[in-house]
Amino acid sequence: MVSKIPVRKIFFNGTIITMEEKQPSVEAVGIEGEKIIATGLLDEVEAVLGNEYELIDLKGRTLLPGFIDSHMHPMSFLYVLMSLDLSPFTSLKELQEFLKKTAEVRGKGELIFGFKLKEEMFDIPKLPTRWDLDVACPKNPVIILRYDGHIGVANSKALELVGITSETKVPKGGEIRKNEKGELTGVISENALGIIYAQISKYRSSESVDLQETAAKAFRMLAEKGITSFHGITTPQRDIPLYNIIQNEIYQSWYSLISVVNPREFIDLQEQKLDSKKEDSKFKTRCWKGYFDGTLGAKTAWMHEPFSDAPDKSGFSVIDEEKMFNKMKLIHENGFQIGIHAIGDKGNRVLVDLYKRLLEEFPRDNHRHRIEHASLLTEDVIRDIKKLNITVVCQPPFINSEYTWLEKRLGKKRCKYTYPFKSIIDSGVIMASSSDSPIEDPDIIQGLHALVTRNGFIPEQCITMEEALKTYTINGAYAAFEENIKGSIKVGKFADFVILDRNPLEVKKDEIKEIQILETVIRGKSVFKIDEKV
Ligand SMILES: [Zn+2]
C-alpha cells in the first residue's frame, strides 16, 4: 500500500506579509496539504517540515493572505457572463434591432437573456414592455434585466416559458405589472423575479455544458483577481439548485448571506444538509440577509433630508420597522448572524437603533451582526455601531463609479460622511470590503486604490494601504466567523495566498493600479498562475 503523504512546500525569498499584528512579516512559510504548518525564519520552517518538501522561490515578490470579497452576488455574476450586455443601447429601436439579430443567430425558440439594461439612457427613458420585445423576437423567449437587477421585462414567449399568466399569484414584495386592461405588461420586479430565476435555472441546467463552462470561467476570473473566499448573497430558490450543478467549478469558499423575505425559511434551510457546519465547509449558510432601504443611484436610499438634485425625494425604508425588528429577533434568538442592506443616513440611523433595541432586549456576545453597504454614516451612528460591536461591509469601488455625481446628489455637507472609511476604522469598528459584483468589477486592486486614494473624493477619509489590506483579508474572515481558519498567515490556517509582483505597502499611490497578481493559492493548491515571461 502506498501511503499518501500530503504535499509540503516552503515559500521563501520574498516579502511575506502575514496580516498578523505580532509578527507582520516572516522570512518563510511552510505548508502541508491545505494548511500552514510553520512560519518564521527559513531554517525554523525547514526544521518543522523535515526532509521532504518543495522549495518555492518567490524571487523577491510579495506573498500575502488571499483576498476575501465580503459582499457579492456570485450567481448574478455568472448570469451576467452568460447574458447579453444591453448597457450600450440608447434607444428602444437599437435594443430591438439587437435582439432581432440575436434571435436570427440563435435560432427559433432559443432563450435570449439580456442584462444591464440602462433605459434611463434611452432617448425616451422608459422601460420596454413585452409587446416591444415581441416585435423584435416573436418566436424566442426574451428576458431582459435592468442593470441593478431589481426589475426586468419578459416577452410573451418568455412569460409562457416560465408559466406566468394573469392568474399567477404575485409574491409579497414583488410585482407582476398589468396595464389598465388587466393584461400583463411583461414587467416584473423584486421578489417576483424569483419565479423567472427558478424556471431559468431549470432551463439552464438542461444545457449544463454551457453553464459548467461559464461557471469555470467566472470562478477562474475571481481567482485571477486573487480572491480565495467570498461572501455571496444567495437566493436559495434560485441559487442552491444551481450551486449543486456547478460546485466543482468553484475554487473559492462561499460564505452565504441567505436572502429570503421570510426568515422562517432561513431557519428551515439550516436543517438541510447544505452547511456541513464544519468549520472548513466550503459553503456555509449561517447569515440571513435583509434589505432596509434602496440605493443612491435610484434615489431610494432612506435619507434624513431630500436628495440635493431631487427635492421631492428622500428615499424610504422598504419594510416596516416593527416587521424588520421581528425578523431580526427571530434570526438573533436562533443564534444566527444578521446582515442588512442600509445605504441612506436615515436608513443607517434607524437600523442601528433597531440593533440597539435588539441587543438590549436580547444581549448576545459575539453576534457579529453586519450592515451591508453602510454608505452614509454620521458620527453618532458610527459611535453606536462601535458600542454594539456591529461589523460593516463596505464597497470601496462604488467611489470609483460614483465620485463624479455624488456631490450633485448629496450636497457638500453629506459627502463628508459618505463612505467614511477613516472615521469607521479610527473608531475601532471592524470594516470588511467588497465589490457587490456584478454591480462592480470584483477587482481587489481597484478596491485598494479606492480605499487609499478615493479618486480625490473627500480625501480626509483615505485610509492607509495596511488598513486597506486588512479590510480585504483578516476583517473579511472575521465578518464570517472565520478568522481562526483564514485571513492571515498563521500556523493552523488554510494556505490561502496571493502572490503579487510588488509590495503594496511600498508602492506610491499612483502605482497601486499597476500591482499585478501573479498567483493565487487556495487551500495549498495553485489555482491561477500568470505565465512567466522569459
Ligand atoms: Zn449587493
DSSP string, 102-167: HHHHH-TT--EEEEEE-GGGSSS-----HHHHHHH-SSS-EEEEETTSSEEEE-HHHHHHHT--TT
* Residue among 103, 211, 119, 217 nearest 155 (CA): 103
- pLDDT on residue 299: 84
Please tell me whether residue 340 adopts helix, strand or coil conformation.
strand
Amino acid at 459: P
Region of 143 (left: φ > 0; alpha: ψ -120 to 50; beta: rest) is: beta
Which 3 state secondary structure label does DSSP give 322? helix
User: What spacing in Å lies between the alpha carbon of 232 and ligand 1's midpoint?
Assistant: 9
Task: Report how far ligand 1's centroid is from the alpha carbon of 434 (Å).
Answer: 9
Instruction: Return the closest-CA partner of residue 15 out of 24, 4, 27.
Output: 27
How much distance in Å is there from the Cα of 78 to the middle of ligand 1? Answer: 14
Please tell me the distance between residue 436's alpha carbon and the centre of ligand 1 in angstroms.
5
pLDDT recorded at residue 534:
42
Ligand 1: distance of its center to the CA of 407 in Å? 23
**Rounded distance from Cα 103 to ligand 1 centre (Å):** 31
Cis peptide before 438 (omega within 30 of 0): yes
Residue-level pLDDT at 206 = 47
72 Cα to the center of ligand 1, angstroms:
6
User: What's the 297 CA to ligand 1 centre distance in angstroms?
Assistant: 13
Ligand 1 centroid to residue 404 C-alpha, Å: 21
What span, in angstroms and rounded, lies between the C-alpha atoms of 258 and 167? Answer: 29
Query: 79 C-alpha to center of ligand 1: Å?
Result: 15
> Ligand 1 centre and the CA of 73: distance in Å?
6
DSSP code for 307:
B
Cell of 266: 432561513
Cα(192) to ligand 1 centroid in Å equals 18
Axis-axis angle for helices 74-82, 208-224 (nearest 10) = 120
Residues 6+ apart with CB under 8 A from 295: 148, 301, 343
Instruction: Give the DSSP H/E element, type plus range, for residue 407.
Output: helix 406-415
Looking at residue 202, what is its pLDDT? Answer: 61
Candidates 287, 276, 215, 280; CA nearest to 251 is 215
Instruction: Quote the pLDDT of residue 5.
Output: 65
Question: Judging by DSSP bridges, how do beta strands 184-190 and 174-178 pair with one another?
Answer: antiparallel
List, as ranges, residues with CB under 5 A of the ion ligand 1.
436
Kindly give the distance from the C-alpha atom of residue 260 to the centroid of ligand 1, in angstroms, as a whole number.
Answer: 14
What is the Cα–Cα distance from 257 to 368, expressed in whole angstroms?
13
Cα 203 to ligand 1 centroid, rounded to whole Å: 25
Distance 372 CA to ligand 1 centre (A): 8
Predicted local distance difference test score (pLDDT) of residue 50: 92
Task: With beta carbons less than 8 A apart as the criterion, state whether 436 and 72 touch.
Answer: yes
Tell me the pLDDT of the chain (534 aa) as tens digits.
455 667 999 999 999 999 999 999 999 999 999 999 999 999 999 999 998 999 999 999 999 999 999 999 998 888 888 778 898 999 999 999 999 999 998 888 888 888 889 888 899 988 999 999 999 999 999 999 888 777 899 999 999 999 999 999 988 777 899 999 999 999 998 778 888 877 766 655 444 457 788 899 999 999 999 999 999 999 888 788 888 888 999 999 999 999 998 999 999 988 876 777 788 899 999 999 999 998 898 788 999 999 999 999 899 898 999 999 999 999 999 999 999 999 999 999 999 999 999 999 999 999 999 999 999 999 999 999 999 999 999 999 999 888 989 999 999 999 999 999 999 999 999 999 999 998 889 999 999 999 999 999 999 999 999 999 999 999 999 999 999 999 999 999 999 999 999 999 999 999 999 999 999 999 999 999 997 654
pTM of the model: 0.85
Distance 395 CA to ligand 1 centre (A): 9
Give the residue carrying C-alpha cell 516552503.
10
466 Cα to the center of ligand 1, angstroms: 25
Give the pLDDT score at 201: 61
Task: Answer left, alpha or beta for residue 175, where phi above 0 means left and psi between -120 and 50 means alpha.
Answer: beta
> Quick one: pLDDT at residue 95?
96
